[in-house]
Amino acid sequence: MKFTQVLMITTLITCFFSCQKDFPDVANPIDGEIIDINNTNNTGNTNTNTNMVELGRMLFWDPILSGGKDVACASCHHPNFGYADGRALSIGVGGVGLGPNRQDLSPGNIGFVSRNSPTIINTAFNGMDEDGQIFPSLAPMFWDNRTLSLEEQALGPIRSFEEMRGHAFDEDVALDSIVNRLQENAEYQQLFESAFGNTNAINPAGIARAISTFERTIVATNSPFDQFQAGNQNAMTQNQIRGMNRFMQVGCDDCHSGPMFSDFELHVVGVPDHNQLDNSDTGANGTYAFRTPTLRNLDETGPYFHNGVGGSLQQTVDFYRTARGFANGGPSGGGGGGNNGLSVNPNVDRNEIDDDIRNLGNLNGDDIQEIVDFLRALDDPDFDRTIPQSVPSGLNPGGNIN
């Protein structure tokens, strides 16, 4: 059953909280139709080898994977910020500090990463469709869907100049250089031996498999909404239930569908460029299309959109009102509608805005606040926040984040 259908059943049960319509009460709010996203088979993480998970955790936190040994995956995907970094644009190589306080101390030749750091939480479910099916080898990654699978994604930042590689070596030898480092480390030899049964797995595929296995353990699927779906009608507030109803009625779930509240597809929304970037980010294949993000755990993983220009949930939801109006012949924004000046990207023609945006229903200020309240019902703070005290390289876990 599609997510929208599941939510419509839920809406029927909770109609007495809604000002939209009156429906008869129903005894069983879900009638056994819940998709169990807590089933490990759905994550593709069929490997329950705890040694593999621990190896992946060490690699995730160890700056030995970066060219200058100063950046780790955790530098920009830290549990204190929902496995994101709390910044609009991430700072990788040359960065010092953590989260919004991180500063670029490179000699002016590295700069910002051009996009917002997406959360690691629930990336195990990337690509999950409305029926709860997932094919891990086809799971779309990055804001432009340029890579499929967590394994492939894990190697991308190691090769990236701004994110981890820096000036230490050329891109075509980056992975081999990191492999050589790991092969020379006695503790990593032991960890790979324990995880794979031999040290021959110290190679790019082994690194990717270990990191992705660890990342698939970072899940958060017991939000108030999940509890509400499971039959606890007291798990969500009346405002959150009204916001859920408006979320569906307006059409937000045309793109933010399924258990992860994402169709994981590319859409042209017209988000403005970040003013700290020298060049316009044209998205996937130069179309200004970006992937629909999940709506889970938003409170800890802002700011929002592919470049972090959405400074708050209210501003972000309100922008869709502006984009819808622009697509249908209205102004591009610039302060109207209470969105604090967030305007449609001038490089995007109104005819290029996605039809799902064009066809959204009307929103007023109360609608926006109630939808924001509903989005907060998708938060589950109970995920693995473990920070290792040390890593095999002897470097600072997380890199230069202190």
CATH number of the domain where residue 268 is located: 1.10.760.10
Residues 203 and 316 in one domain: no
Residues 237 and 205 in one domain: no
Task: Report which DSSP code applies to 200.
Answer: G
Note whether residue 256 is domain-resident. yes
- Place 18 in a pLDDT band, splitting at 50, 70 and 90: very low
Percent of the chain clearing pLDDT 70 (strictly above): 86
Contact 13, 7 (CB under 8 A): no
Contact 340, 311 (CB under 8 A): yes
Task: Report which DSSP code applies to 165.
Answer: I
Write out pLDDT tens, residues 198-239: 989 999 999 999 999 999 999 999 999 999 998 899 999 999
Residues 52 and 168 in one domain: yes
Residues 194 and 232 in one domain: no
- Place 38 in a pLDDT band, splitting at 50, 70 and 90: low
Note whether residue 62 is domain-resident. yes
- The pLDDT value recorded for residue 232 is 92
What's the whole-model pTM score?
0.89
Cis link prior to 303 (omega < 30° from 0)?
yes
Note whether residue 13 is domain-resident. no
- Place 43 in a pLDDT band, splitting at 50, 70 and 90: low
Asked if the model's pLDDT at residue 348 lies above 90, the reply is yes
Residues 209 and 267 in one domain: no
Give the residue ranges of DSSP H helices in 328-386.
355-358, 365-376
Asked if the model's pLDDT at residue 29 lies above 50, the reply is no
Amino acid at residue number 163: E
Note whether residue 239 is domain-resident. yes
- The pLDDT value recorded for residue 41 is 56
Closest CA to 73 of 61, 84, 57, 87: 61
Residues 75 and 206 in one domain: yes
CB atoms within 10 A of CB 200: 10
Note whether residue 14 is domain-resident. no
Residues 252 and 342 in one domain: yes
Of 41-55, 195-209, 230-244, 291-305, least confident by mean pLDDT is 41-55
Residues 53 and 194 in one domain: yes
Residues 202 and 179 in one domain: yes
- The pLDDT value recorded for residue 254 is 95
Q: Of 215, 243, 272, which residue sits at a domain end?
A: 215
Q: How many helices (H) and strands (E) does the chain have?
A: 13, 6
Note whether residue 347 is domain-resident. yes
Percent of the chain clearing pLDDT 90 (strictly above): 79
Instruction: Give the three-class secondary structure for 275.
Output: coil
Residues 54 and 81 in one domain: yes
Name the token pair of 206.
């082994």
Asked if the model's pLDDT at residue 109 lies above 80, the reply is no
Mean pLDDT score of the chain: 88
Cα–Cα dist 270/135, whole Å: 30
- The pLDDT value recorded for residue 333 is 80
Asked if the model's pLDDT at residue 76 lies above 70, the reply is yes
Give the residue ranges of DSSP H helices in 184-233.
186-196, 204-215, 224-229
Contact 339, 271 (CB under 8 A): no
Name the token pair of 72.
């780790």
- Place 46 in a pLDDT band, splitting at 50, 70 and 90: low
Closest CA to 206 of 183, 222, 229: 183
Amino acid at residue number 94: G
Asked if the model's pLDDT at residue 19 lies above 90, the reply is no
Cα–Cα dist 369/186, whole Å: 54
- Place 44 in a pLDDT band, splitting at 50, 70 and 90: low
What's the domain range around 286?
227-376
> What domain count does the chain have?
2
- The pLDDT value recorded for residue 32 is 35
CB atoms within 10 A of CB 277: 14
Instruction: Give the three-class secondary structure for 69.
Output: coil
Note whether residue 28 is domain-resident. no
Residues 330 and 210 in one domain: no
Residues 119 and 241 in one domain: no
Q: Is 248 left (phi over 0), alpha (psi -120 to 50) or beta?
A: alpha
CB atoms within 10 A of CB 319: 25
- The pLDDT value recorded for residue 23 is 27
- The pLDDT value recorded for residue 64 is 98
- Find the angle CA(241)-CA(244)-CA(246) to the nearest 5 degrees: 115
- The pLDDT value recorded for residue 130 is 85
Q: Is 102 left (phi over 0), alpha (psi -120 to 50) or beta?
A: beta
Note whether residue 91 is domain-resident. yes
27 compared with 160, residue with greater pLDDT: 160
